[in-house]
């Protein structure tokens, strides 16, 4: 999945780069300025910059907005993963304790202990 995403993004970036290269006069030769007028404050005009710079600024701004909106979900998933991992570890420890208790009640060797040989076994006749 990650490799396919990478390939798709590389194709998109290549097409965008090709469009910018073939229309270089539009992206790099045309200087524009942005103006902001909120009605409450005086009008603000940005410096004259090529269009490519404005596209880059708004692209980075979009990435930041997407990151901010995805962050709470990412934190929630990380917290849930930690809780589930802790629960799985507790259940595994409980299962091992029950296996040990069952083996002790049956008189079998405990799980994880090396099997006793006939030489060291106290019940084995010599």
Q: Could you tell me if residue 112 is inside a domain?
A: no
Structure tokens at 6: 């990478």
Domain annotation covers residue 4: no
Asked if residue 1 belongs to a domain, the reply is no
Q: Is residue 119 part of a domain?
A: no
Q: What is the pLDDT of residue 115?
A: 62
User: Does 55 or 113 have the greater pLDDT score?
Assistant: 55
3-17 tens-digit pLDDT:
999 999 899 999 988
Contact between 31 and 50 under an 8 Å Cβ cutoff? The reply is: yes
Residue 26 scores a pLDDT above 90 = no
Query: Can you tell me the distance from the alpha carbon of 14 to that of 8, in angstroms, rounded to the nearest whole number?
Result: 10
Handedness of CA 108, 110, 114, 119 (dihedral sign): negative
Q: Which residues span the domain enclosing 98?
A: 20-106
Q: Is 28 exposed, middle or buried (0-12, 13-18, 19+ CB in 10 A)?
A: middle
Task: Indicate if the pLDDT at residue 64 is higher than 90.
Answer: yes
The verdict on residue 53 lying in a domain is: yes
- Report pLDDT digits (tens) over 76-88: 999 999 999 999 9
Domain count within the chain:
1
When pLDDT is averaged across residues 38-65 and rounded to a whole number, the result is 89
């Amino acid at each position: 999945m990650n490799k396919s995403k990478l390939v798709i993004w590389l194709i998109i970036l290549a097409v965008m780069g090709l469009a910018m290269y073939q229309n270089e006069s539009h992206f790099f030769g045309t200087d524009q300025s942005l103006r902001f007028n909120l009605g409450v404050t005086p009008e603000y005009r940005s410096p004259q910059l090529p269009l490519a710079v404005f596209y880059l600024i708004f692209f980075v701004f979009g990435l930041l907005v997407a990151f901010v909106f995805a962050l709470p979900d990412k934190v929630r998933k990380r917290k849930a993963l930690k809780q589930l991992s802790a629960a799985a570890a507790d259940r595994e420890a409980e299962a091992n304790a029950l296996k040990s208790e069952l083996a002790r009640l049956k008189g079998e060797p405990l799980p994880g202990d090396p099997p006793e040989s006939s030489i060291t076994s106290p019940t084995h006749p010599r």
